[in-house]
A = this chain, B = another copy of it.
Amino acid sequence: MIKVLLAEDQRMMRGALALLLNLEEDMEVVAQVPAGDQIVDAALAARPDVALLDIELPGRSGLDAAADLRAQLPSCKVLIVTTFGRPGYLRRAMEAGASGFLVKDGPVEDLAAAIRRVLAGEQVIDPGLAAAALSAGPNPLTQRERDVLTAAVDGATVADIAGKLHLSQATVRNYLSAAIGKTGTRNRMEAVRAARRNGWL
């Protein structure tokens, strides 16, 4: 019996997937969590063979949780299942020790198949996405540039960002300018969108 942990914030999606996996003869969903910061605890309690993790979760990113999970429960494989096939996400997932990367845009049948392949020791990655990740190259943004960009996502002014990060306003403008340059965009709003699309945040 394959024991599965499911981390997904949308309740309807989570329920549907759980039902679906439980229909498989050899699978059993032993834990379901709606938030990223509950993943490790739940896994240590339920000891699943494989963890299906969404990336964009409340509390904590599924990617961060994946790295922790691999360290604390190496017997549990990690399969990332996410809405967005962002190149940077795939790269970070691999670095975090994930064994597979699926997009929710694929057919449902792929899910159970992917789980079995992952448990057989294979790596499961969308070929097109892998190509995109390679062609996009690594994340060009420095830590600080990412900090400033993420602080700017919801329309914060330079003063807001400077206050939140304890930087001077001129410095914040510099980082924003650098990020705009590196993303090849024209203003902070475009830079934020470009960085998100690539999974750089």
Question: Contact residues of A with B, CB < 8 Å?
Answer: 10-13, 15-17, 19-20, 81, 83, 104-109, 111, 154-155, 157, 185-193
A111 adjacent to B190 (CB under 8 Å): no
Q: Which of A13, A107, A185 has the most CB of B within 10 A?
A: A13
Give 21 pairs: A residue, B residue, CB < 8 Å, sorted on A.
Answer: A10-B83, A10-B104, A10-B105, A11-B106, A11-B107, A12-B17, A12-B81, A12-B107, A13-B13, A13-B16, A15-B109, A16-B16, A16-B19, A19-B20, A154-B189, A154-B193, A155-B185, A155-B186, A155-B190, A157-B186, A189-B189
Please name the residue on chain B nearest to A16 by beta carbon.
B16
| Given A16-B17, A19-B20, A108-B19, A157:B187 Cβ within 8 A | yes
CB contact under 8 A between A104 and B13, given known A190-B154, A193-B155: yes
Besides A11-B107, A20-B20, A189-B189, 14 new A-B residue pairs in contact (Cβ under 8 A), listed by A number: A10-B104, A11-B104, A11-B106, A12-B104, A12-B111, A13-B16, A13-B104, A15-B108, A154-B190, A155-B188, A155-B190, A155-B191, A155-B193, A157-B187
Determine the chain B residues whose CB is within 8 A of the CB of A20 once the complex forms.
Answer: 16, 19-20
Q: Are A12 and B106 in contact (CB under 8 A)?
A: yes
Shortest distance between the CB of A54 and any CB in chain B (Å):
11
Q: In the assembled complex, how far is the CB of residue A145 from the closest CB belonging to chain B, in whole angstroms?
A: 17
Q: Which residues of B contact A186 (CB under 8 A)?
A: 155, 157
Bound: A185/B156 CA distance, A: 11
Given A20-B19, A155-B185, A185-B155, A12-B190 contact (CB < 8 Å): no
